[in-house]
Amino acid sequence: MYVFKTFIMLFATALVGCQDAGTQVIDQPNLPTRPNILWLVAEDLSPIISSFGDDTVATPNLDRLAAEGVRYTRVFSTSGVCAPSRAAIATGMYQNRIGAQHMRTTNVSGFGVEGLIAYEAVPPPYVKMHSQYFREAGYYTSNNAKEDYQFRKAVTAWDESSNQAHWRNRASGQPFFSIFNFGITHESQVWAQAENPLRVPEDLEVPIPPYLPDTEIARQDIRRVYSNIIAMDEQVGRILDELEADGLLESTVIFWYTDHGGPLPRQKRLLYDAGLQVPMIIRYPDGWRAGESDEQLISFVDFKSTALSLAGMEPPDYVDGRAFAGEFQSSEERQYIHAAADRFDRQYDTIRAVRDARFKYLRNYNPEQGYYLPLTYREQMPIMQELLRLRDLGQLNEAQAQWFRLVKPEQELFDTESDPHELVNLATDPAYAEKLSELSAELDNWLSGFDDKGMMPEPDFIREIWPGMEQPVTRSPTATQQYGRVVLASTTEGANIGYQILAADEELAGTWSVYTEPVPLAADQRLIAIAHRIGYKPSSMIELVGSTL
């Protein structure tokens, strides 16, 4: 069993372990040649756990991970909501670069936006999902079970993506890249769990951000957030129990992180730190840097490169991110992180952000539009209903009322050290003119590097990637013979080809092998092949019989 020790982090030890802001780690963990990579992903959660300084509830499983691993304290999503952020993680590219910026694209039923249809983002043809690189290197890849990438997963992306997906389904001795997602901390669980008993005392004192009301309704929802954290910690513990029971603890790099910031009003969907900043712990084999804290700036676009680097694979050169650990760790320090906010359900806005180690800059492209966007989904939450009730009664204080301002400035600048809730806009303060200019120029520099798809009306963008509002179809693979092997190809640029080799009477399986080189085919076998470019429909399947070659 994965028996947990009591987690004690002495202040002096923490000081010794901390890296100065911007420090680049130069040593590397002692990893196996092909280490397993395990991602444990909670949803909708800011750094409000004990190992990151919030001791409201106990999280013994995460505490042990922190004691045996590295706490990364400046990690940021590229969006304040899940689907665009997952697109960035899976591709290593900013969501507004690949047309995945709107929340969400593949399910727009009920939004009622004129000219809007469900569609898939279409990344450039050279883009492959993170998991496919692992598959091509011989890893077993499993995802349990959330996808939500703004596009259908490539047929070659995973060995298994389902509620039953697990590294235990791999071949003996095969290394794995496995993801487990924990939805209990999702925004929806604040109200969906209301009928279940709290896992915390009914009168638990909870921290209330100044932008939320201090009422019993609000406190109860925040208690539910912490109650769900306890449940998530237990779920993480069960996966870790299985890892240790399988004898894989010291051959696995374990990531625990969350898919963006917190679930509460003025957190999720916004580009304040409450919506972007996430806690992350990585446990490396052999106790490398155990118990330390690392303050380097990390973006979600860095995750793909880092996972590949830790497995000894050089990241592709098209990604926007950089490896912050492993064989191919970048020698350059990250000076800034970037983020974007666009459509949420039926509500449009366009905001871009850049942050250094201390200051956050926001550029509002629709200043005539207020901050608050009415969302039916979010208004199921009692604390949101409470905010609206108090607003209508004129009983919100200045900090609470800020979100409901009817217009917003074109530029905002926040000192996240002295003003962690980002309530004091310094953009017009002459004392910060130099910092404002620096970050504004950096935002321009970021956006000059690609065509920001969020600047185009969404229906026009759909017509650009799906001519005639029809999804392109990947062309079926062709097959030729070469030196007794089958060579597969598709004329659709960027198509991934999957294949299965079956006996004469064998049924098609659910998993496609990734085609990387010509394959042998015996006379008594059949080969089934399919092609799929991300964002396109998969092709029709072709079938070859070995006896006819």
Q: Are residues 301 and 370 in the same domain?
A: no
Burial 227-241 (b: 16+ CB within 10 A, else e): bbbbbbbebbbebbe
- Choosing from 442, 469, 496, the residue where a domain stops is 469
Q: Does residue 3 belong to any structural domain of this protein? A: no
Q: Are residues 349 and 327 in the same domain?
A: no
Mean pLDDT over all residues of the chain? 94
How far is it, in rounded angstroms, from Cα 276 to Cα 333?
Answer: 20
Q: Are residues 266 and 181 in the same domain?
A: yes
Q: Are residues 266 and 188 in the same domain?
A: yes
Residue written as token pair 């490396």: 284
Q: Are residues 114 and 87 in the same domain?
A: yes
Q: Are residues 462 and 489 in the same domain?
A: no
- 18 is annotated as an active-site residue: no
pLDDT of residue 16: 37
DSSP string, 416-485: TTT-TT--S--TT-GGGHHHHHHHHHHHHHHHTTS--GGGS-HHHHHHHHSGGG---BPPPPEEEEETTE
Q: Beginning with the edge strand found earlier in the chain, give each strand of the sheet holding 485-489 in spatial order.
A: 478-482, 485-489, 519-520
Peptide bond into 74 cis (omega under 30): no
pLDDT of residue 26: 55
Q: Are residues 269 and 363 in the same domain?
A: no
Q: Does residue 1 belong to any structural domain of this protein? A: no
Q: Does residue 6 belong to any structural domain of this protein? A: no
Range of the domain at 87: 11-332
Q: Which two tokens stand for residue 439?
A: 């970050």
pLDDT of residue 3: 39
How many helices, marked H, and strands, marked E, lie in the chain?
A: 13, 20
DSSP string, 46-63: -S-SGGGT--SS--HHHH
pTM over 0.85: yes
Q: Are residues 405 and 523 in the same domain?
A: no
pLDDT of residue 11: 33
Asked whether 329 and 305 are in contact (CB, 8 A), the reply is no
pLDDT < 70 positions in the chain: 1-26
Out of 45, 62, 82, 339, pick the active-site residue.
Answer: 82
Q: Are residues 437 and 515 in the same domain?
A: no
